[in-house]
Amino acid sequence: MKKTLICTVCPVGCSIEAEVSEKEVLSVSGNTCPRGEKYARDECIAPKRMVTSTVRCSNGVLLSVKTKNAIPKEKIAECMKIINNTVVDLPISVSDVIIKDVFGTCIVATKNIRA
Amino acid sequence: MVDLVIIGGGPAGMSAAISAYDNGVRDILILEREEALGGILKQCIHTGFGLHKFNEELSGPEYAIRYEEQVLERKIKCKLNTAVINVTKDKIVTATNSEDGIFEIQAKAIIFAVGCRERPKGALNISGTRPAGIYSAGTAQKLMNIDGYMPGKNVVILGSGDIGLIMARRMTLEGAKVLAVCEVMPYSSGLARNVEQCLNDFDIPLKLSTTVIKVHGNERIEGVTVSKVDENRMPIAGTEEFIPCDTLLLSVGLIPETEMIKKAGIDMDAVTNGAIVNELRETSVDGIFACGNVLHVHDLVDFVSEEAEIAGRAAAEYIKGSIKKNADIKIQTDGKIRYTVPQSINAMQDIKIYFRVNNVYRDAKINVINNGKIILSKKKRKVAPGEMESIVLGKELLCGIDVLRFELEVQ
């Protein structure tokens, strides 16, 4: 079976064709870099996404956060619930771990907030 | 007297400041109207920034921090919460803040890095009432990501620019239902990856060749009437559809913020709505430079930073008196190629020309023509208005030339 994908790895957005059987990806074409091939293989078998959002700090301001690595696409809604149930204390620096062990990765801060 | 005044402390201003410093200027002052450096990146919490510059996928705030740290390391002076209200051809900058009142600075060189703003509702001529619940996409983004407010629950988005697509995902993640993204053109004006990861991932319908023709509701918006449009973007009778909603986001384009540049008497480009510049990003007034989205709207912040480096370096050369102009070449376009930046060339060196096209073309050829002769040709598999293209002109091509014409040929 042929699957047509738009690569989301970078802003070029290559149109990629993947030949897939029931269990595996047989061939990938149309990508212009190796990252595109990896994306297509992951996307056909186990699609993953980065999640970005905000977490409330104890003083009321918002801290922007992201998943350190991409998580399974079907876990996005659950991931958002975990993020929205979290309150963090200050100060926070960029890359600080805000929530540990979230679908194989963690939630990290993407900005600095002084107390 | 200050050597270099940079107006705006967003990605363009910070990158220009760092570049000017690294090219020998020490007396630099950044004027920023908000309470922190970073510009619009502060509210762009999604990832996708920095793939070119840092070879990683950063969020907006992370990208801004990388530059802010470099500004701080160099001890470059910044005045925050400071609005510039006037700039003259003689390089006198008038600014104001609550500490200093209104003050004037005589600069040797000035870089405009003030960015762009969203095209407002008033520019759209939508009939109907003017209830609450209509926001520009960027305003909604600031409300959600900085202030922590949810703009609404049932959302229609007009315009498929990148900010609209990003907000469709953001609002969905926070529990809103995005009912439709309507785009008047037959193609999305945003990046293909954003259509994929912001709309398709969440089954949000993208209605192409469709626009909002009426807003309903009195105190709060209660719905919109959308309609298909023909090739002249005129609504087609009989295709109207009412969509009940409590929120309408507008993502209908960005406009360079050029009031001050125009007032200073700088020559403008009618297509980009920004200043006309040469390869140094120098405007028609010697020593006044412009870079970033105030010049033309970029797809990626990485390209803004890159352009600002050019302006920063050039401002440093101007202050040292070492700019050499040994060419005077004007660049023309054929309309299929809407514009180029720079629009003129004043030096014989390898120069990267950025351009944008007016439509989606497949298997296109970009021809650079002098005197009816093609001197450079580059094939492109696909070009689209939403994606800025570039071509490098080698200095050997520029010898003895006064006009270059950029044409797009469809094969």
Query: A10-26 burial string, b = 16+ CB within 10 Å, else e?
Result: bbbbbebebebeeeebe
pLDDT digits (tens, 9 = 90+) for B260-293: 999 999 999 999 999 999 999 999 999 999 999 9
Contact residues on chain B for A79, CB-CB shorter than 8 A: none
At residue B170, the pLDDT reads 98
For residue B189, list chain A residues with Cβ-Cβ distance below 8 A: none
Cα angle, residue A40 at apex, residues A3 and A54 outer, rounded to 5°:
115
Query: B173 is written with which tokens?
Result: 């993640």
Question: How far B71 CA sits from the closest chain A CA (Å)?
Answer: 16
What was the pLDDT predicted at B316? 98
CB contact under 8 A, B173 and A112: no
| Smallest Cα distance from B223 to chain A, Å | 27
The dihedral built from the CA positions of residue B162, B166, B171 and B177, taken in this order, carries a sign that is positive
Cβ <8 Å between B59 and A76: no
* Cβ burial, residue B344 (10 Å; 0-12/13-18/19+): middle
Looking at residue B129, its pLDDT comes to: 81
What per-residue confidence (pLDDT) applies to B123? 63
Q: What is the pLDDT of residues B199-249, one digit of tens each?
A: 999 999 999 999 999 999 999 999 999 999 999 999 999 999 999 999 999
- Interface test mutation site (partner B, options A33, A79, A111, max chain B beta carbons within 10 A): A111
pTM over 0.90: yes
Q: Is A85 on the interface with B (CB under 8 A)?
A: no
Complex ipTM over 0.90: yes
- Tell me what the mean pLDDT of segment A1-20 comes to: 87
Chain centroid to CA B142: how far? 17
A6 and B196: CB-CB below 8 Å? yes
User: Measured between CA atoms, how close is B308 to chain A, in angstroms?
Assistant: 20
Contact (CB<8Å) B65/A49: no
